[in-house]
Structure 1
Amino acid sequence: MKSAVETLGPTRAKLTVEVPFEELKPSLDKAYKSIAQQINVPGFRRGKVPPMVIDRQVGRGTVLQEAINEVVPQKYVEALQTHDLQPLAQPEVEVTRIDDNEAIEFTAEVDVRPEITVPDWHGLSAEVDDVAVTDDDVDEQVEALRERFGTLNDVDRPAAEGDFVTIDLVATRDGEPVEGAEVTGMSYRVGRGGMLDGLDEALAGLSAGDDATFSSQLVGGDLVGQDVDVQVKVSQVQEQELPAYDDEFAQLASEFDTAEELTEDVRTRLGNGKRLEQAAAARDAVLERLLDQVEVPLPESIVDDELTERRRSIEQQLAFAGLTFDKYLEDEGQTQEEFEADLERRVRDAVAAQFVLDKVANDLEVGVDQTELTEHMVRRAQQSGQDPQEFANHMLEHNHIPELVAEIRRGKALAQIVESATVTDTSGNVVDLKNLRPDGTLGDPAEAEADPTADTAETAEEPAEA
């Protein structure tokens, strides 16, 4: 086999492959045997029809085509290996020459991984926000904890913000009820929002037995986004009574004996969470610094495919949340053009980050063992709300394991880049990332030296979108 490669661009290559007939012959013999099993020819048993008879019955061209269909993928892979090309998508293959009993020739155009040079990434610097837990943060968490143990009491007064009401809703359009737009006996907290525009305003001042009608737009169904009239009727108004925040409550709601101990634990947990957020911001900032120093050509087909997938995912999430795309843009304060530009920027940064981290992982000869793969699949399953075994079976069945391995390698490469960086907060303090545990606490430096990948690899497993 002879092959040559032509560079069509930084991420596009064209292979020209010539296969001599002797290398095609095993596939040709196989094609004859296969066709012999499929045809009936008087005087010959099935499977015993000679090649010359098959040529007369079905045509030599048909046999050649079947042989070519088998041999081209094999020779394409061999040519990729010969020229050390890493394809990113399926190739566009064209058979350009068939010389019977001599040779065949085909071309294959394909997007390939770009050649990039990653500069020395040791000692990158980045800045992140301080870790700050305010009294308001603690009060908000304490209030949420008290609400979990609150009781609801009926009140004989108009509903006010914060009250819980039991309501019936009926939507009509031009005086006719809208199919599927009726709710009975629903519990709703006044002022919570996120349901129908105008509902909170209509409920304010209504007592049990009162009703009101307001105009709104449906967030789901055939009339999504269209104006309708909504009648809301209140059947019950309840006020939430919160327990006193004292030592007795602390013993009821936690393992602590005093409210002071519970408050301190809340503050500590908030600090751990904010420290993890700071670590994620540090990871993103360091990666962004590295990407700023690297020129990464991007295959447009890969970018387009990723854009399509991102749009589809966003549409699904909006539909699940009962939101229209226009409503989403309104809430985000974006125009359609701004949304598309921001999405494309994030996709391009994410694809570039993958290429850069793959290069770093290769340079470091990063490996992945079975334990790491299993743990990664368990985490991915938990994130998507799936059963870990079902998730693993799906990944195996659809050959997604190489993608998971690539994710782990990128995460480990990014972890090393981040650990070598100098990250400071806005106050000028060095942020300790090397000793950060997965729960947000800081471990003993001796632990990190004993197992340098134990902690930070967890927090840096998925490259963020810069």
Structure 2
Amino acid sequence: MQVSVETTSQIERRVTVQVPAEEVDQAVAARLKDTAKNIRLNGFRQGRVPMEVVRQRYGRDVRNEVVGELMRERYVQAITQESLNPAGYPEIEPTVNESGKDLEFVATLEIYPEIQVNGIEGAEIERPVVDVTDADVEEMIETLRKQNASWEAVDRPAEQGDQVTIDFQGFLGSEPFEGGQAENHDLVLGSGNFIPGFEDQLVGEKPGEETEIKVTFPEDYQAEQLAGQEATFKVKVHKVSAQKLADLDEEFIQRFGVENGDQEAFRAEVKKNMQREAKQAVDNRVKQQALEALKNANDVAVPQALVQQEVDGLKRQAAQQFGLGEDFDVSQLPDELFTEQGKSRVQVGLLLAELIKANEMDASDDEIKAKVEELAQQYQEPQQVIDYYLSNDQLKSQVKSAILEEKAVDALLAQATVKDVEMSYQEALQAAQQQAEGDEEDAEANVEDDAKA
């Protein structure tokens, strides 16, 4: 077997392989002989069909089958011989495929780039410093009470925050429009679930009253026939309900895992959870800044095969996020919506892998166990989670990867200028969320539009 390698780009190789004709022809002859043992043809007993007839009828298909297998086998041998590290599957094309001639084929493939990681010296990274205050805890408890609130009917005009039960029908001019009506619909005033201006005009309405509401649909409204249109809604108010917060009693507290129902123990548990959430938000924000600086400091050629793998994964995530169903064909979502994000993920992944390798980073069993125990604390039955993770090699591998990523980020932070910035609990969560979302919002909006189209 003869092999030659042509460098066509920084990460693309064109591998030409020649296999001696004698080897190919012998393999074809052997396969034809095996085929002859099993075929049935009229006028011949099984296994007694003349070889010339077998070759005439099955020769082309058998040769194609044998050549396909040989090309795959010799491709693997060739990249091993030439120490090539492929990133994805190759394109293999036979260039000479005739009986009596050496088989020649060309495999075009992408390889993992050779990377020399540049540091991020000089990069400035903001690290939020967050103190979860007693006021933050009380606000969180109030939020939990609202999430578990009930509604009680009241005999007074509706106020912001009330829930109204209404019938409505929408009109463009004097004509009702499709999808613009409902009966006994519950709407919380101030929730922003309806067209801007609709909910505000229901403030002050009483149970049993009928009213007309005039609104203008946004220019970017998803239903094109309504976008920018003025509409009138005829509304009947059946009921006005005020929100009744859940009582901070033993039953309520026990729902959150504090079995003794003690309020102080509950507040301590809420604060601990908020501190853990704040730490995660801070760590994520700092990590994203460090990885962005790493990417900016290193121009890495990215194999398209790896980008496509990320794109396919992002499509599946988007389909799940928007509830498109398991049967939804994700190929309907255009690749370009996810290409930049996929490319960015591959760049960061390659750089981190090289950084970890160059610094010989590793995670011990004790470190993995400690990390699992830390993760398990957010569950009601931590020991069950610990046992489950530590008995599953795949999950342990994921935890190990997370630890190595943390070590790599710590190494980057040691190179950068880190500035502590005081933030409130809410500011830290919002900042981390914005940092994580980045440029994803436009892509998500496009996905949602495509899914509804």
Inter-CA distance 111–169: structure 2 relative to 1 (3 Å threshold) = farther
- Give me the whole-angstrom Cα distance separating, in 1, the residues matched to 2:324 and 2:193: 13
Confirm or deny: 8 A CA contact 1:122 1:417 kept in the other structure.
no
Q: In the alignment, what sits opposite 2:287?
A: 283
Confirm or deny: 8 A CA contact 1:210 1:233 kept in the other structure.
yes
Secondary structure in 2 matching 1:271: helix
CA RMSD of aligned residues (A): 4.8
> 5 Å matches for 1:228-247?
230-242=233-245
Q: In the alignment, what sits opposite 1:269?
A: 273
Q: Which runs of 5+ in 1 are unaligned?
A: 322-339, 380-400, 430-462
Percent identity reads: 26
Inter-CA distance 233–410: structure 2 relative to 1 (3 Å threshold) = same
Tell me the TM-score normalized by structure 2. Answer: 0.67
Inter-CA distance 192–297: structure 2 relative to 1 (3 Å threshold) = same
Inter-CA distance 234–62: structure 2 relative to 1 (3 Å threshold) = same
Inter-CA distance 204–30: structure 2 relative to 1 (3 Å threshold) = farther
Inter-CA distance 105–237: structure 2 relative to 1 (3 Å threshold) = same
Confirm or deny: 8 A CA contact 1:349 1:465 kept in the other structure.
no
User: Could you tell which deviates more after superposition, 156-165 or 360-369?
Assistant: 360-369
Inter-CA distance 366–249: structure 2 relative to 1 (3 Å threshold) = closer
Cα deviation code 1:12-63 (max 9, x no counterpart): 11111111234435642464257547864444334543432223334x4443
- Give me the whole-angstrom Cα distance separating, in 2, the residues matched to 1:101 and 1:108: 22
C-alpha deviation, 1:82, in angstroms: 1.8
Inter-CA distance 32–195: structure 2 relative to 1 (3 Å threshold) = farther
Q: In the alignment, what sits opposite 1:358?
A: 353
> 5 Å matches for 1:358-377?
358-363=353-358, 364=360
Secondary structure in 2 matching 1:129: strand
Confirm or deny: 8 A CA contact 1:114 1:297 kept in the other structure.
yes
Tell me the TM-score normalized by structure 1. Answer: 0.66
- Give me the whole-angstrom Cα distance separating, in 2, the residues matched to 1:34 and 1:424: 71
Is 1:188 aligned to 2:191, yes or no? no
Is 1:413 aligned to 2:413, yes or no? no
Q: In the alignment, what sits opposite 2:62?
A: 63
Confirm or deny: 8 A CA contact 1:129 1:425 kept in the other structure.
no
> 5 Å matches for 1:21-420?
21-25=21-25, 27-29=27-29, 31-33=31-33, 36=36, 40-58=40-58, 60-118=59-117, 126-134=125-133, 137-148=136-147, 150-171=149-170, 175-176=175-176, 178=178, 182-211=181-210, 212-215=212-215, 216=217, 230-242=233-245, 262-300=266-304, 302-303=306-307, 306=310, 310=314, 314=318, 317=321, 345-363=340-358, 364=360, 410-420=401-411
C-alpha deviation, 1:219, in angstroms: 7.2
Higher relative contact order (CA 8 A, sep 6+): 2
C-alpha deviation, 1:260, in angstroms: 5.5
Q: In the alignment, what sits opposite 1:452?
A: none
- Give me the whole-angstrom Cα distance separating, in 2, the residues matched to 1:230 and 1:27: 79
C-alpha deviation, 1:406, in angstroms: 8.6
C-alpha deviation, 1:165, in angstroms: 1.8
Confirm or deny: 8 A CA contact 1:303 1:351 kept in the other structure.
yes
Confirm or deny: 8 A CA contact 1:291 1:352 kept in the other structure.
yes
C-alpha deviation, 1:201, in angstroms: 2.4
Secondary structure in 2 matching 1:9: coil
User: Which AA in structure 1 matches 2:407?
Assistant: Q
Secondary structure in 1 matching 2:199: helix
C-alpha deviation, 1:107, in angstroms: 0.1
- Give me the whole-angstrom Cα distance separating, in 1, the residues matched to 2:364 and 2:14: 32
C-alpha deviation, 1:297, in angstroms: 1.0
- Give me the whole-angstrom Cα distance separating, in 1, the residues matched to 2:273 and 2:26: 68
- Give me the whole-angstrom Cα distance separating, in 1, the residues matched to 2:316 and 2:260: 47
Confirm or deny: 8 A CA contact 1:214 1:231 kept in the other structure.
no
- Counting matched residue pairs gives 388
C-alpha deviation, 1:70, in angstroms: 1.9
Inter-CA distance 425–57: structure 2 relative to 1 (3 Å threshold) = closer
Q: In the alignment, what sits opposite 2:442?
A: none
- Give me the whole-angstrom Cα distance separating, in 2, the residues matched to 1:316 and 1:224: 28
> 5 Å matches for 1:387-466?
410-420=401-411, 421-422=413-414, 426-427=419-420
User: Which AA in structure 2 matches 1:56?
Assistant: Q
Q: In the alignment, what sits opposite 2:390?
A: none
User: Which AA in structure 2 matches 1:418?
Assistant: V
Inter-CA distance 298–137: structure 2 relative to 1 (3 Å threshold) = same
C-alpha deviation, 1:311, in angstroms: 6.4
Q: Which runs of 5+ in 2 are unaligned?
A: 326-335, 376-392, 423-435, 440-453
C-alpha deviation, 1:163, in angstroms: 0.6
Is 1:12 aligned to 2:4, yes or no? no
